[in-house]
Amino acid sequence: MVKATDVSRLFLQAVISRKYISDDLIRILWKKCHDAVRDADADAGVEYNEAGFEDFIDKTNESLNPVGLEMRSLYDEVTGIRMWALVNTKGDEISQMATDYTPQEMAFFKQIIEQIITAPNEAFSVSSMAALRTVNNLPVKSTMTKSQAEAVLGSFVARNWLVKSSRGRYSLSGRSLLELLPYLKSTYDEDMLECTLCLEVCTRGVACYTPACKGRLHDHCYKRYRASNARCPACAADWSRADKLRKVGEEAAKDGDDRRSRRQRTGSTNSGDEDELAPNGTMEDQEMDED
């Protein structure tokens, strides 16, 4: 028997099958779910109201809360487009990836995350060579070869967990920032940056040039803000000259950065507990096994 609640069921099935969805597409899917239920039974009591999408999400999240799931959105740092995903709100582990990767591959991914999040100069990215050498930092002796590591990295990109730039640098995708946020905050809270305007996590954008100022903005937030403001939203410094602003993300990366990190995280597999820039000799000095 068709019921009005079938709209939510069909909607969640559509979201799960697509993983990471734009706001435009998710609204289209929501309407199609209404249409499908209404076509199956015109008396099911299903009424579509375009303005009711946010309320629908709120009600869906209420039903998902007991099982530790939630529909969340963020504005993609590259495109500025609002994106959605069904995320796990329980615990701080990367449980979403457990069914797709082996424990060794999961450990590899966590090491990549550490290199990205703790990259110096707020670059939030790591070079291809440094990413490959990260295999040598795994807690347990790795049997992963260079070609295997390259294939796994390719899979991370293909499944939209990582982004690889034209310069060959890896950074976290919008999907990772959305779905893995509980893990990122619980593990790297001191290293995470927040956009001063939208208050979402920021790994790409601009930073105020004033020493000690915490003003950080996504590129799309900066563009919108700068249209009517010429001062830092955090410290009120003069922002009339865009060339004075510092970059956040890959554009902030400098030669030699991949040998250093902003800090050595407590419990890291590398030795040392310095809070300042620390050499990462283990990663750089060891060579990976070839095929």
Q: Which CATH number is 247's domain given? A: 1.10.10.10
Percent of the chain with pLDDT over 70: 81
pLDDT for position 5: 76
Q: Is residue 212 part of a domain?
A: yes
Q: Provide the CB-side half-sphere exposure for 173 (13 A, CA).
A: 19
Q: Phi and psi for 127 in degrees, rounded to 5? A: -70, 160
266 shares a domain with 174: yes
220 shares a domain with 97: yes
Q: What is the DSSP letter of 30?
A: H
Q: Is residue 1 part of a domain?
A: no
Residue 74 pLDDT exceeds 60: yes
pLDDT digits (tens, 9 = 90+) for 214-268: 999 999 999 999 999 999 999 999 999 999 999 999 999 987 666 665 554 444 4
220 shares a domain with 137: yes
75 shares a domain with 31: no
Q: What is the DSSP letter of 289?
A: P
Question: Global pTM?
Answer: 0.81
pLDDT for position 131: 94
**CA 216 – CA 225 distance, rounded (Å):** 12
Provide mean pLDDT across the span 205-211: 96
Domain boundary among 67, 84, 104: 67
101 shares a domain with 10: no
Neighbours of 219 (CB within 10 A): 18
pLDDT for position 267: 41
Q: Which domain holds residue 44?
A: 6-67
Domain boundary among 41, 67, 93: 67
110 shares a domain with 42: no
pLDDT for position 128: 94
Please return the burial class of 21, using the count of CB atoms within 10 Å of its CB with bins 0-12, 13-18 and 19+. Answer: buried
pLDDT for position 265: 43
**Do residues 152 and 162 touch, judged by C-beta distance below 8 A?**
no
For 187, the 3-state DSSP assignment is helix
Q: Is residue 76 part of a domain?
A: yes
Helix (H), strand (E) at residue 279 = strand 278-279
pLDDT for position 144: 85
Instruction: Based on DSSP, count helices (H) and strands (E) in the chain, helices before strands.
Output: 10, 11
Provide mean pLDDT across the span 61-90: 91
Q: Is residue 260 part of a domain?
A: yes
Q: Which residues make Cβ contacts (< 8 Å) with residue 241, sequence separation at least 6? A: none
Strand 205-207 to strand 162-164: parallel, antiparallel, or no bridges (unpaired)? unpaired
Domain boundary among 18, 48, 67: 67
Highest mean pLDDT among 178-187, 201-210, 273-282: 201-210
**Do residues 228 and 254 touch, judged by C-beta distance below 8 A?**
no
Band of residue 280 on the pLDDT scale cut at 50, 70, 90: very low
Q: What is the DSSP letter of 180?
A: S
Provide mean pLDDT across the span 48-74: 91
Provide mean pLDDT across the span 188-215: 96
Q: Total domain count for the chain? A: 2
Neighbours of 104 (CB within 10 A): 17
